A and B are shown apart, each in its own frame.
Chain A
Amino acid sequence: MAQFIDMPKLSDTMTVGTLVKWLKKEGDVINAGDMLAEVETDKATMELESFFAGTLLKIFSAAGAQVAIGDPLCAIGKPGEVVGMPAPKKTAPAVAAPVVSPAPVAASARVPEPASASQPTPPAASSAPTPTTSPAVGRVRISPLARKLAAEKKIDVTRVTGSGPGGRIVRADILAAEKNPPATKAGSGSMFTGGALSSRGPVQEERLVPVSTMRGVIAKRMLESTTQIPYVYLDIEMDAGPLLALREQLNTGLEKEGVKLSVNDFILKACADALRRVPAVNASWEATHIRRHGAAHVAFAVAMEDGLITPVIRDAHLKSIFQISTEAKSLGKKAKEKKLVPAEFTGGTFCVSNLGMMGIPKFTAIINPPNAAILAVGTTVTKPVVKNGQIVVGQTLTVTLSCDHRVFDGAVGAQFLGALKTLLESPALLLV
């Protein structure tokens, strides 16, 4: 039987060798210890020594070839013996596997990893009854001990104010919150599903409803807003007639295209344009400075079963009414389906809250920090108005701007509302 000479391992780090040149040729008589070839490793050029004696029958790898360790280079045997390429070496059965699996070490020496970090989830999509907050909205700064205590005592950490460095909630804060619980609202049913009118029983089953993540975030943010922001509220009433007329005209014209513009679409577009005209409103309070935002990312509130969420039309100042309309519909649908991703509901610079479709004529909204303002939009009201000295039937719309007085003053807010009124009363401006 011929002996096959394989590419040897010639260094501790070698995986492949380059066959530099053959020192013997086929047919040569080989003594054990003879040098057959020169092989270049990662370290040096070394000579390949034969451990066998016989005749060099066949060379498999030509000079210059790169050959992996263990692959055949040549065969040595009796003169005249016929050899082919050797069959591939069989892999040994698993029991002989030489590689020591690290798995048992891992199993014995490590504690189980915590469950993999949850994917960023929009707060709307989470209704887990834990007091933790979604990382997407901003985590609560809390010590590990306080977090554990809060869980044990079922205290909503989003309602606790931290006294530690940077507002970190520490054990003392949880203990204080336990003694002096923050006011909890009675569990409310859905705003959309009232109880039966004729019922004589209790209003609802009396029970404790766990605070959902979203509810917790809303609570925290709204509390933060109303306790930290000095508010100014400004109303303005405008003539909605031209807006409604233009809307009807456009919707009729575009019906076969499947486009249907809402009053809110016009308001979003008008806000974006008004922000361009009075950019001081498009800003944020950052304690040591005021950040003026270069882009108008206009958010709008979407009511949901257990809260609300504010998807954002990014770069609304660059978009047409049609683009805004399309985007707002898509975002609103995703919001209802709890399918928004964080990028779609974060980063707004201004917000619009519209309760017009609920029949509310006028209200004030709470600013969603770090925005400096929010616009509350009422319903269009048909009522007597004075036009050209005549009392006529008119359609009006009242909007209320909640302003962060730290960022801008009432006069600036008034300018913004003035610009908004101009745009909405001459809505063709929104089309150019």
Chain B
Amino acid sequence: MSKKPSAIADIKAESAVKATDYALAPINAALSSTQRIELYRTMIRIRRFEERSLRAYQGKNPSGGTNIGGFLHLYIGQEAVAVGCCSLMGKNDHVITAYRDHGHAIAVGMDTKPLMAELYGKITGCSKGKGGSMHYFAPDKNFWGGHGIVGGQIPLGTGLAYALKYQGKKGAAMAFMGDGAVNQGAVHEAYNLASLWNLPVVFVIENNGYSMGTSQARSSAGQLAKRAEGYNMTWGQCDGHDVYEVRALMDKHLTLAREQSRPSTVEIDTYRYRGHSVADPDNTYRTKTEIEEYRNKKDPIQVSLHKLLAEGVLTETLADQIDAEARAEAESAAEFADASPYPTPDDIQKDVYWESDHPAQRKSEGRLFFD
């Protein structure tokens, strides 16, 4: 009945390798075959994770209840951005993003089991079921969330850069936002502070063309990244469907941050195939043809697959195997999530205060909680 899952089978003939081959950029030329395959693998792992989470969202658990509540903002179509950027991270580089955060979480190396469990609201989730889809965190992997309010994370990311500079560490903060965030005041305040104080931060605008259901043309004046000029910052722009191109551009900006402690803004063009959240319709603001166009011609996974096959790094067999592994991983994450217990009511008031979680070291007195 259902055909064999295959990444190869999904390839559309129209997917084309761009004329400018960013594979030749030094940062990419230096990649080993294994590293190239890993980039591809991470992208496909994100894709399969997202597809599996959508199925879980739409389905019911065996008791008839909800698997996943609330919103689910999928990263499908944008994989090359997070994977390209995060693949450049050194030990003092940090990442913060908004609510479409699953891709970044997987790209920085978080295990998909606790990620899926977090969607399911389980105690085994990466935030113990307290954050949900929009609030993934992994400080041990220099990943600082996962933030729900558009643009609200950008001052925080600037603060990460401030801390790096204060502590004399040679690193950079990557503060991701969507194209809708550029109109938020907090973003502009952060731009100003970063430039004024020479902070090592790269502001990454993932421009998927739509702030929820409003197109860029209807929401933002001018080129988004160019606003950096008003704050005396350099800026760059690239196609985000090619992971090599993302890496080539980001490498320059990260180097600027690390070596010269200067902030900058990059605008990476990308596209999401799904609604803003999976509950949101597409048909009010864009056409199916447009979505199909991107799927067929610009899909980051297909673009990457083409290149790797052409480079001889990947064989069809290996590609199929990677895909099968990614599907199996997503399935096993869902099984793990499904089998995990929920937090208990006793967990509700844990993780609120550092002090109440460390009673032996508590110095304050009095009641922290009220009823």
The residues in B between 55 and 72 inclusive whose CB is less than 8 angstroms from any CB of A are 55, 57-66, 69-71
Interface membership of A114, Cβ < 8 A: no
- In the complex, whether B185 has a CB less than 8 A from a CB of chain A is no
Distance between A180 CB and nearest chain B CB, rounded to angstroms: 43
Q: Tell whether A10 pairs with B1 under 8 Å between CB atoms, given A41-B279, A98-B63, A104-B346.
A: no
Residue B342 CB within 8 A of the other chain: yes
Min C-beta distance of B218 to chain A, whole Å: 19
- Within the complex, which residue of A32, A91, A101 is in contact with B63, where a contact is CB–CB below 8 Å? A91
A142-167: which have CB < 8 Å to B? none
Residues of B within 8 A of A197 (CB): none
Could you tell me if A99 and B65 are in contact, using CB atoms closer than 8 angstroms? yes
A89 CB–B CB distance under 8 Å: yes
Report if A364 contacts B (CB, 8 A). no
Indicate if the CB atoms of B60 and A70 lie closer than 8 Å: yes
Q: How far is the CA of A51 from the CA of B50 in the complex (A)?
A: 13
Residues 281-302 (chain B) with a chain A CB within 8 angstroms: 281, 283-284
A100 adjacent to chain B (CB < 8 Å): yes
- Cα–Cα, bound, A77→B1 (Å): 6
- A104-B344 CB under 8 A given contacts A12-B70, A43-B280, A89-B62: yes
Among A11, A52, A81, A98, point to the contact of B2 (Cβ < 8 A).
A52
B371 at the interface (CB under 8 A from A): yes
B278 lies within 8 A of chain A by Cβ: yes
Q: Which of B62, B71, B348 contacts A12 (CB 8 A)?
A: B71
Chain B residue at smallest Cβ distance from A91: B63
**Which residue, B55, B63, B278, B284, has most C-beta atoms of chain A within 10 A?**
B63
Binary contact track A40-81/B, C-beta < 8 Å → 1, others 0: 010111100001111100000000000001100000111001
Considering the complex, give the chain B residue whose CB is closest to the CB of A104: B345
Known: A3-B2, A45-B281, A51-B55. A98 touches B61 (CB 8 A): yes
Asked if A411 CB lies within 8 Å of chain B CBs, one says: no
Chain B interface size, under 10 / 10 to 19 / 20 to 34 / 35 or more = 20 to 34
| Inter-chain contact B58/A9, CB cutoff 8 Å | yes
Contact A43 B62 (CB under 8 A): no
Name A92-109 residues within 8 Å CB distance of B.
92, 96-102, 104-105, 108-109
Cβ of B363 within 8 Å of any chain A Cβ, yes or no, is no
Cβ contacts under 8 Å, A9 to chain B? 57-60, 66
Question: Contacts of B3 on A, CB cut-off 8 Å?
Answer: 31-32, 53
Asked if A200 is an interface residue, CB under 8 A from chain B, the answer is: no
A3 to B283, CA, bound (A): 28
**Are B60's CB and A6's CB within 8 A?**
yes
Q: How far is the CA of A77 from the CA of B348 in the complex (A)?
A: 44
Confirm or deny: A90 has a beta carbon within 8 angstroms of a beta carbon on chain B. yes
Chain B residues numbered 1-18 whose CB sits less than 8 Å from any CB in chain A:
1-3
Q: How far is the CA of A3 from the CA of B278 in the complex (A)?
A: 22
Write out, one digit per residue, whether chain A residues 119-151 have a CB within 8 A of any chain B CB (1) or not (0): 000000000000000000000000000000000
Kindly count the residue-residue contacts between A and B in the assembled complex, taking CB atoms under 8 Å apart: 90
Which chain A positions have C-beta within 8 A of B280? 43-44
Residue among A8, A9, A55, A101 with the highest chain B CB neighbour number at 10 A: A9
Give the chain A neighbours of B283 by CB distance below 8 A.
44-45
**A78 contacts B1, CB within 8 Å?**
yes
Q: Are B60 and A100 closer than 8 Å at their CB atoms? A: no
Nearest residue in A to B52 (C-beta to C-beta)? Answer: A51
Kindly identify, within residues 304 to 344 of chain A, every residue whose CB is under 8 Å from any CB belonging to chain B: none
A69–B60 contact, CB under 8 A? yes
Residues of A within 8 A of B69 (CB): 12
Instruction: Count residues on chain A whose CB falls below 8 Å from chain B CBs.
Output: 44
Chain A residues with Cβ below 8 Å from B60 are: 6, 9, 69-70
A207 at interface, CB cutoff 8 A: no
Q: CA of A102 to CA of B344 in the docked complex: distance in angstroms?
A: 9
Q: Is A387 an interface residue (CB 8 A)?
A: no
Given contacts A90-B62, A100-B344, contact A110 B2 (CB under 8 A): no
- In the assembled complex, which residues on chain B have CB atoms less than 8 Å from the CB atom of A44? 279-281, 283-284
Minimum CB–CB distance for A107 against chain B, Å: 9
**CA distance in complex: A10, B72 (Å):** 10
- Chain A contacts for B64, CB-based, 8 A: 70, 89, 91
Q: B59 near A102 (CB under 8 angstroms)?
A: no
Q: B279 → chain A, closest Cβ, in Å? A: 3
Chain B residues near A6 (CB-CB < 8 A)? 59-60
Distance, CA A32 to CA B9, complexed state (A) = 11
Given A10-B279, A78-B1, verify A102-B65 contact (CB < 8 Å): no
Residue among B66, B70, B279, B344 with most chain A CB within 10 A: B279
Give the distance in Å from the alpha carbon of A229 to the alpha carbon of B308 in the complex: 106
Shortest Cβ gap from A41 to chain B (Å): 7
> What separation, in Å, do the CA atoms of A77 and B278 have in the docked complex?
26
**Most chain A beta carbons < 10 A, residue from B3, B60, B61, B62:** B60
Report B371 CB to chain A, min CB distance, Å.
5
Residues B342 and A100 in contact, CB atoms below 8 Å apart: yes
CB-defined contacts of A52 to chain B, threshold 8 Å:
1-2
Given A43-B281, A89-B62, A102-B71 contact (CB < 8 Å): no
Minimum C-beta distance from B125 to chain A (A): 14
Whole-angstrom CA separation of A101 from B280 in the bound complex: 31
Q: B345: which of A91, A100, A110 is its contact (CB, 8 Å)?
A: A100
Q: Specify which of B59, B62, B371 is in contact with A92 (CB 8 Å cutoff).
A: B62
How far is it, in angstroms, between the C-alpha of A81 and the C-alpha of B70 when the chains are bound?
Answer: 37
Enumerate A359-399 residues with CB–CB distance to B below 8 Å: none
B71: chain A residues at CB < 8 Å are 12
Q: Assuming A53-B2, A110-B371, is B59 touching A105 (CB within 8 A)?
A: no
Q: Which residues of chain B from 317 to 350 have any CB-CB distance to chain A below 8 Å in the complex?
A: 342-346, 348
A181, B66: Cα distance in complex, Å: 67
Closest chain-B Cβ to A21's Cβ sits at a distance in Å of: 14
Query: Which residues of chain A come closer than 8 Å to B342, judged between CB atoms?
Result: 98, 100
CB distance from A35 to the nearest CB of B (A): 9
Whether the pair B344, A12 counts as a contact (CB closer than 8 A) is no
Find out whether the CB atom of B2 lies under 8 angstroms from the CB atom of A32.
yes
Cβ–Cβ < 8 Å partners of A10 in chain B: 58, 278-279
How far apart are A75's CB and chain B's nearest CB, in angstroms? 11
In the bound complex, residues from chain B placing their C-beta under 8 Å from that of A3 are 1-2
Complex Cα gap A293–B346 (Å): 60
Instruction: Write the B121-154 contact mask toward A (1 if CB under 8 angstroms, else 0).
Output: 0000000000000000000000000000000000
**A and B contact pairs by CB, cutoff 8 A, 6 listed:** A44-B279, A51-B51, A52-B2, A90-B62, A98-B342, A109-B371
- 10 closest cross-chain pairs (CB), A and B: A8-B58, A11-B279, A44-B281, A105-B345, A54-B1, A92-B62, A92-B63, A70-B60, A53-B2, A98-B65
Q: A9-B58, A31-B3, A43-B280 are in contact. List 4 more A-B contacts (CB 8 A).
A: A43-B279, A69-B60, A98-B342, A110-B371
Residue positions of B touching A, CB distance < 8 A: 1-3, 51, 55, 57-66, 69-71, 277-281, 283-284, 342-346, 348, 371
